[in-house]
A = this chain, B = another copy of it.
């Protein structure tokens, strides 16, 4: 059911088409929170419309259908948001590899960590740039919007992974080649 609430949450910010939502998943949610492809999104939007959680707000060119959240949808979303489950369940193939690092020999483990550090550094740089652009444009008198709070969480998470990989590489057996 998480897909449904991810979609509802995005539609709570602004109306969007299945195509728009697919792009948002790719650009943002996939790396941190949730993933879905268009083949899953389109049928789910139809079901959500049938359930009265969203409505077609506009029909555009190329069969584009822009959906908007309804009051019933907002209610449903709110209920889900304030009733989190008590167990945290995560699926992260990348972290799974970290857990199984001990099954590699030190040289290979080192290489995997270096790869990790690499792609992480790239993602951190991207996020840093977009946050900097946002901060430059923002009104310093106003409070931080929620989106900025979450971006901060992203920054700090990348930062930790970056520091940890450096720390771990230093501690792996063959200290240098």
Contacts and interface: CB of A to CB of B under 8 A. Distances in A.
State the oligomeric state as a number of copies.
2
Contacts of A85: 93
A150 B85 CA distance: 26
Interface string A1-34: 0100110010011000000000000001111111
B168 A152 contact: yes
Interface residues on A, range: 35 or more
A101 interface: yes
B112 A97 contact: no
A100 B6 CA distance: 8
Interface string A86-128: 1111111111111111111000110110010001000100000
Contacts of A168: 149, 152-153
A49 to B, nearest CB: 19
Interface stretch (A39-47, A55-63, A139-147): A139-147
Contacts of A97: 81, 84
A150 B98 contact: yes
A90 B33 contact: yes
Given A81-B108, A82-B104, A152-B168, A87 B32 contact: no
A90 B89 contact: no
A35 interface: yes
A77 interface: yes
Interface in A125-161: 143-147, 149-150, 152-153, 156-157, 159-161
A42 B99 CA distance: 21
A172 B159 CA distance: 23
